[in-house]
A and B are shown apart, each in its own frame.
Chain A
Amino acid sequence: MPLPSFIPFKGLSAGKFKNISARTLFLIAALFINFILLSIIIWLTVKSAPVWVEKSIPGLLLSQVWFPARGGFGMFSFIIGTVLSTLLAVILAAPPAILSAIYLHEYASKKIMTAGRTLIDLLAGIPSVVFGLWGIITVVPLVRNHIAPAFGINTTGYCLLSCGLVLSIMIVPVIMLMVIEVLDGIPNELRESSLALGATRWQTVKHVVMRMAYPGILSAVALGISRAIGETMAVLMVAGNVPAVPSSVFEPVYPLPALIANNYGEMLSIPLYDSALMFSALVLLAMVLVFNIGLHIFKKTARYGGQTS
């Protein structure tokens, strides 16, 4: 086969050239993604330097005093707000999401499965501002008029519970979709093998399917958590946005993303404010990264069942 004339290297066949250039391209793409992450981290670190140089990092992270006009930039309430609303969302969302995904995939007929899947796809695609609005018109009044009174508590309804509820509804389809994908990846023959031994559906799900799906389900929950940590719009609309550590689920919270979205661009000329918001973004990014790296390490070291192949 004659070499195309544009090949610049002598003695390099077209195939080899393509191979090398493809490899270089992938390498550049991979480096580029890392470069973006790295540059965001560096940029946030530099931009937030004025505030953490003056107030010290532990001082910022552990202080609850948020009073920008007087130089108080304590992040603690915001970090707690993020952690609590994410935790609440996952506790509320993960069990029903996992169970209904298993039901759809392992028990329901094909028709119901297809219908269910389409519905979840739709849910997963709803913009978060819509969830936020929906939270304001339904969840907030529900909490204010029914749930809180049941505990004898007065609340505006803009609180940790509403925030957790709205977030959980948002991440249920995310977790479900991924669990279904994981279940799809388990060969049917394994289910057949177990059923053929006289096992019931439930025994098959419990001993075979769940064992195979366990790492994947963990990843699905993690994806839900990542989504909840960073969610901004819906949270901002129902959380109440009061910078304090809540003493019950009926008190308002102020998660980090809401802080940034609410205030950036309206810092007036308060010194260090801009820098403090950069710092809060850095903290948010660090939380997501630490969580994901931790999960990665956990999955590497944990042993799942006996399957190796």
Chain B
Amino acid sequence: MPHVKVNKFNLYFGNDHILKDIDVSIPDKQITVIIGPSGCGKTTLLKSFNRLIDLQDNVKTDGRILIDGEDVFSRNADLCSIRKKMGLLLQKPYPLPMSIYDNVAYGPRIHGLKKGGDLDGLVEHYLKEASLWDEVKGRLHAPAGNLSLGQQQRLCLARGLAVEPEIILADEPTSALDPLSTARIEKTFIKLKKSYTIIAVTHILRQAKRIADYVIFMYYGRVIEHGPASKVLENPEKDVTKEYVNGVIS
């Protein structure tokens, strides 16, 4: 049974019906890419998974999003432990206002890991997982804001991995980055999918082709089509999907 299952999920901002009857399962340990035109609800769906959507006003939902069989929108869901299961990458990297080391150690610390030797080991381990270690090992205690944007994004990845999530959520994680940094993030994703389920939103079709195992195409708040990448991107069933992947609509 997959980690992540969306079940007849609807979301409203006030009276605006934003997400409509979303019904989709996300395959484990693969990269699932959500594509679709601007404003179709990709970010909203992504932020529903870890309930960051709660930060918005007047949000109403019905239906369910199941993570490991547990409905994240159920009344007695424990937000902190749900969010801990999912690392999050945003469109632009936002390192916390502290050192590189403390950014990675932030999660372990708030979840009650001890100080000292094993924290150093953790920080090193996750910086390596995010392919950043070699570039920062000499200046772990420098402010994270000093890093380049691409490095900052990988730091944010390391920071998210350090709370030992099962899932990585990424909202256009490379849209602020140069091609080289983009390639590094993509390579890191492909390396990480052995151990994590990755859900990424992207605007760039070529990126979807490079990294996606599974593709979800959204249009005006609905999932129009989903399936293995080769099928949805190369040989879509629906006409709108065809138009989108051929660049007729964007």
Which residues of chain A have a CB within 8 Å of any CB of chain B?
A: 109-110, 187-200, 203, 207-208, 211-212, 304-309
Q: Closest residue to A213 on the B side, CB-wise?
A: B97
Residues of B in contact with A, size category: 20 to 34
Q: Are B90 and A208 in contact (CB under 8 A)?
A: no
Least Cβ distance of A205 to chain B in Å?
12
List, in ascending order, chain A residues with CB within 8 A of B236's CB: none
Main secondary structure of the interface of A (DSSP, over half): helix
C-alpha spacing A191/B97, complex, angstroms: 11
List, in ascending order, chain A residues with CB within 8 A of B107's CB: 197-199
Q: Are B98 and A305 in contact (CB under 8 A)?
A: yes
On whether A198 and B111 interact (CB within 8 A), knowing A192-B52, A192-B88, the answer reads yes
Partner pick for B110 among A189, A203, A307, CB 8 A cutoff: A203
C-alpha spacing A50/B97, complex, angstroms: 55
List, in ascending order, chain B residues with CB within 8 A of A192's CB: 52, 55, 88, 90, 94
Q: Is the C-beta of B131 less than 8 angstroms from some C-beta in chain A? A: no
On whether A207 and B96 interact (CB within 8 A), knowing A194-B106, A197-B163, the answer reads yes
Q: Are B57 and A110 in contact (CB under 8 A)?
A: yes
List, in ascending order, chain B residues with CB within 8 A of A199's CB: 80, 106-107, 110
Q: Closest residue to A307 on the B side, CB-wise?
A: B97
C-alpha spacing A195/B51, complex, angstroms: 10
Q: Closest residue to A306 on the B side, CB-wise?
A: B143
List, in ascending order, chain A residues with CB within 8 A of B57's CB: 109-110
Q: Is the C-beta of B84 less than 8 angstroms from some C-beta in chain A? A: yes
Q: Are A193 and B83 in contact (CB under 8 A)?
A: no
Q: Are B96 and A208 in contact (CB under 8 A)?
A: yes
C-alpha spacing A195/B55, complex, angstroms: 10
List, in ascending order, chain A residues with CB within 8 A of B80's CB: 198-200
Q: Closest residue to B106 on the A side, CB-wise?
A: A197
Q: Are B160 and A196 in contact (CB under 8 A)?
A: yes
Provide a sorted-by-A list of 15 A–B residue pairs whose CB atoms are within 8 angstroms.
A191-B55, A196-B87, A197-B110, A197-B159, A198-B107, A199-B107, A211-B97, A211-B98, A306-B97, A306-B99, A306-B102, A306-B143, A306-B144, A308-B143, A309-B146
Q: Is the C-beta of B86 less than 8 angstroms from some C-beta in chain A? A: yes
C-alpha spacing A93/B110, complex, angstroms: 31
On whether A190 and B83 interact (CB within 8 A), knowing A196-B50, A198-B110, the answer reads no
List, in ascending order, chain B residues with CB within 8 A of A189's CB: 90, 92, 94
Q: Is the C-beta of B37 less than 8 angstroms from some C-beta in chain A? A: no
Q: Is the C-beta of B145 less than 8 angstroms from some C-beta in chain A? A: yes
Q: Are B90 and A197 in contact (CB under 8 A)?
A: no
Q: Are B84 and A198 in contact (CB under 8 A)?
A: yes
Partner pick for B156 among A191, A193, A198, CB 8 A cutoff: A193
List, in ascending order, chain B residues with CB within 8 A of A194's CB: 96, 106
List, in ascending order, chain B residues with CB within 8 A of A109's CB: 57
List, in ascending order, chain B residues with CB within 8 A of A110's CB: 57
List, in ascending order, chain B residues with CB within 8 A of A193's CB: 88, 90, 94, 96, 156, 159
C-alpha spacing A189/B88, complex, angstroms: 11
On whether A306 and B145 interact (CB within 8 A), knowing A192-B55, A198-B163, A208-B96, the answer reads yes
List, in ascending order, chain B residues with CB within 8 A of A304's CB: 97
List, in ascending order, chain A residues with CB within 8 A of B55's CB: 188, 191-192, 195
